[in-house]
Amino acid sequence: MGVPSASQGSELVELANDLRLACQIISRRVRFESTSGIPPHQISVLFAVRRGAQTPTTLAERERVSTPAMTRTLNSLEAEGLVSRSRNAEDSRSVLITLTGRGQAVIDGVYASRDTWMVRHLEGLSGEDLEALRRATGVLSRIGQA
């Protein structure tokens, strides 16, 4: 791929900005469409824990929060019966956080709610727009994995 001309560079910067803003708007709207009543930052932790047991420190690093802030979040999630703590068999000084059945049910509900929101907004689009979104989804996925 060659070096873009000044006008191409400007067009790419404008496209990059427009695309970033559109993705942020959609992401924000979808994130707040959950009907679970659980704050988005706690949902994010549940999504992380669904991948497997993790330590509070690992979760804090992943979520880019302090360990005390993560401890408060985990305390809330545990009080709601959404996660549980157990001793780490590999390091008895630490605990592992796992998702409970109730936590999995909340995640399933969040996914369903978010998908329903998205479907409602896709239903009125033309076939041409839907095809453009199908193509864009593939491109965006590749960009996200780069």
CATH number of the domain bearing residue 119:
1.10.10.10
Residue 4 has pLDDT above 80, yes or no: no
Q: What is the pTM of this model?
A: 0.76
What range defines the domain where residue 53 resides? Answer: 32-145
3-state secondary structure of 132: helix
- How many domains would you assign to the chain? 1
CA atoms of 1 and 122, how far apart (whole Å) = 34
Which whole-number Å values give the CA distances from 16 to 19, 30, 54, 82, 91, in the listed order? 5, 21, 35, 38, 45
50, 89 Cβ separation under 8 angstroms: no
- DSSP 8-state assignment for residue 52: S
- pLDDT of res. 35: 66
Mean pLDDT score across all residues of the chain: 90
pLDDT digits (tens, 9 = 90+) for 39-66: 889 999 999 999 999 999 999 999 999 9
CA atoms of 20 and 6, how far apart (whole Å) = 21
- pLDDT of res. 5: 60
